[in-house]
Structure 1
């Protein structure tokens, strides 16, 4: 089990990116949260099996017709216990 803080830059606000992240995280049984930042970027924390998180990051990095990722960075952080789902904040 591992947890990452992820920072995403690109066309990620106003295009359904947070919902896209939540849907994919839920399908992969990952927990955490995602939220818009005032500077136009999106930040999230995601927790689960490292291989599954890499799959999640690869999926969101591809985006869709509306979403465009210009840069994505991740940093390992401390686990959060008793978290049950992936939320939009």
Structure 2
């Protein structure tokens, strides 16, 4: 089953390699979508793929890279989008 989620990750998640961490994890889990920094200091993730892999990405995002400190994740389910392919970091 394909699942697509929109995440807003808050805490110390910018300037700590969080986007690269998510990019690596998403590629490893064979997910499509993107990750980007938001102006308020949060990180936004849009990811799609097999439901167990999405669950794993969320689990990894809750921890983040060693220098990050995640204080919260907002998760919103979205309709799958067949046009999504590959995963990218939006700068």
Deviations 1:12-40 (A, max 9, x none): 10111000000000000001101101100
Maintained 8 Å contact 2:12/2:70:
yes
Q: Displacement, 1:63?
A: 1.7
Question: TM-score when scaled to structure 1?
Answer: 0.94
Q: Displacement, 1:41?
A: 0.6
Partner of residue 62, structure 2 = 61
What are the ranges of 5 or more consecutive residues in structure 2 without an aligned counterpart? Answer: none
The residue correspondences of 1:38-77 to structure 2 (distance < 5 A) are 38-77=39-78
Partner of residue 84, structure 2 = 83
The two structures, once aligned, show a CA RMSD in angstroms of 1.0
Deviations 1:30-58 (A, max 9, x none): 01101101100111111011111111111
What are the ranges of 5 or more consecutive residues in structure 1 without an aligned counterpart? Answer: none
Question: TM-score when scaled to structure 2?
Answer: 0.92
Between the aligned partners of 2:48 and 2:66, the Cα distance in structure 1 is: 26
